[in-house]
Chains A and B, each alone.
Chain A
Amino acid sequence: MTTTTAHRVTAPPLPQPRGPVSRAVLALLRGEQPDAFDVAGTDAYGDDLQLALYCCYELHYRGFDRVPDDLEWDVSVLALRGRLEAVFEAALRRDVAGGDDVATAVDALLVEPIDAPGVSHHLMRGGELWQLREYVTHRSTYHLKEGDPQAWAIPRLEGQAKAALVSVEHDEYGAGRAERMHSQLFAKMMTELGLSTCYGVYLDAVPAATLAEVNLMSLCGLHRRLRAALVGQFAVVELTSSPGSHRLVRAAERLGAGPATARFYREHVEADAVHEQVVRRGILEPMLAAEPALARDVVLGIQAANLLADRLSEHLLGAWGEGRSSLRSPCPT
């Protein structure tokens, strides 16, 4: 197990397939002829489709070991990705309430439920250290590239909305200091918890519910037409993070996790209280003033992010409630 936080850029190995769709994508990435498959009967939120989509998207971030970089824009990979995206996006649109009332959707994020059955509530009140380690393992699929999916929105916004988004991203990226980058603070926490900080090393271990949250960000990030949904997703993260992070500071302290773990969440308590204001006043308001028609997609992004967060939360609390691991393969101890 690697516990170094030194920064050497390496691409992770390809994961194991989880069904015919991911098997076909992995074959393409290995340069082999994929078997034909029918995407119609595939569960939009299931392991097979979500892993396949995640692998397609990862070509735009860090790529994979022994997979040529130019497959990022390979038309056969893109065509396949398009079929998977259509299934995922259709399911999201089917399963959210929709509408164009941004104010109501945002206000709902600003009310703090004191008795919610959330993961951070559970970890604060009675969760165990192995559960916190599992939670961090799940979150590593995003936090080791924290801010990256949302950066796709920068060239797609104008004026004040663009400037404000960059100011939040600047903060996520450590304001010019690598050691303050949130992804690096996250890596220090992983090391403290005895987890590997190698990018992508837990891909085989995390379930579909975890991958789906990151896939939503990549889907909305890589399609300009969904830029407002990406802003909606970002709003959910930034508006709900501060109180959740406070609960995780208390969880880290109660469980004796260590200073790097408490620090990662403490940083988010203060930073995201600021980001909330910047996202609402600096990004959402001017973006919608300039392009009112984007309201519907902002609501889509908010509702889809909530839907997928609830699914992950149910998965984690369901597994832990039965005393079993929430991962597909157990965390190293």
Chain B
Amino acid sequence: MSTRSPAHRVVLTGDGPVLVDGPLEIELADGTLVRSDRPVNALCVCRRSRIYPFCDTSHRQRVRTSDEEQR
């Protein structure tokens, strides 16, 4: 087994983004190529991110803490 070349590891966080080591090129559905030089990248899979294809934590549960109307 030790002779196998190292594989790319992709981490499925389950409750959040998919983690992929960089540098990375991501081809979007429309053919656009996005590059990231970050050592670790969090890719959005919930499609709620405002900086898609990267995660911006928009998958988090949003709660109202009071009865006050949202401004």
CA distance A277 to B44 in the complex (A): 13
CA distance A273 to B43 in the complex (A): 10
Kindly identify, within residues 19 to 48 of chain B, every residue whose CB is under 8 Å from any CB belonging to chain A: 19, 37-42
Query: What total count of A-B pairs have CB within 8 Å?
Result: 78
Chain B contacts for A274, CB-based, 8 A: 19, 38, 40-42, 55
Chain A contacts for B37, CB-based, 8 A: 175
Secondary structure class of chain A's binding surface, majority of residues: helix
Secondary structure class of chain B's binding surface, majority of residues: loop
A273 touches B57 (CB 8 A): yes
Scoring A114, A115, A273 by chain B CB atoms within 10 A of each residue's CB, the highest score goes to: A273
A114 to B, closest residue via Cβ: B62
B13 to A, closest residue via Cβ: A277
With A270-B56, A274-B55 as known contacts, state yes or no: A113 contacts B39, CB within 8 Å: no
CA distance A9 to B13 in the complex (A): 42
Least distance between A49 CB and chain B CB atoms (Å): 32
CB-contact partner of B68 in A115, A246, A278, under 8 A = A115
Chain A contacts for B9, CB-based, 8 A: none
CA distance A246 to B65 in the complex (A): 20
A116 touches B65 (CB 8 A): yes
A266 to B, closest residue via Cβ: B51
Least distance between B61 CB and chain A CB atoms (Å): 5
Does B8 reach chain A (CB closer than 8 Å)? no
Chain B contacts for A269, CB-based, 8 A: 51, 56
Does A83 reach chain B (CB closer than 8 Å)? no
Does A110 reach chain B (CB closer than 8 Å)? yes
Chain A contacts for B61, CB-based, 8 A: 110-112
Chain B contacts for A171, CB-based, 8 A: 38-39
Chain A contacts for B62, CB-based, 8 A: 111-114
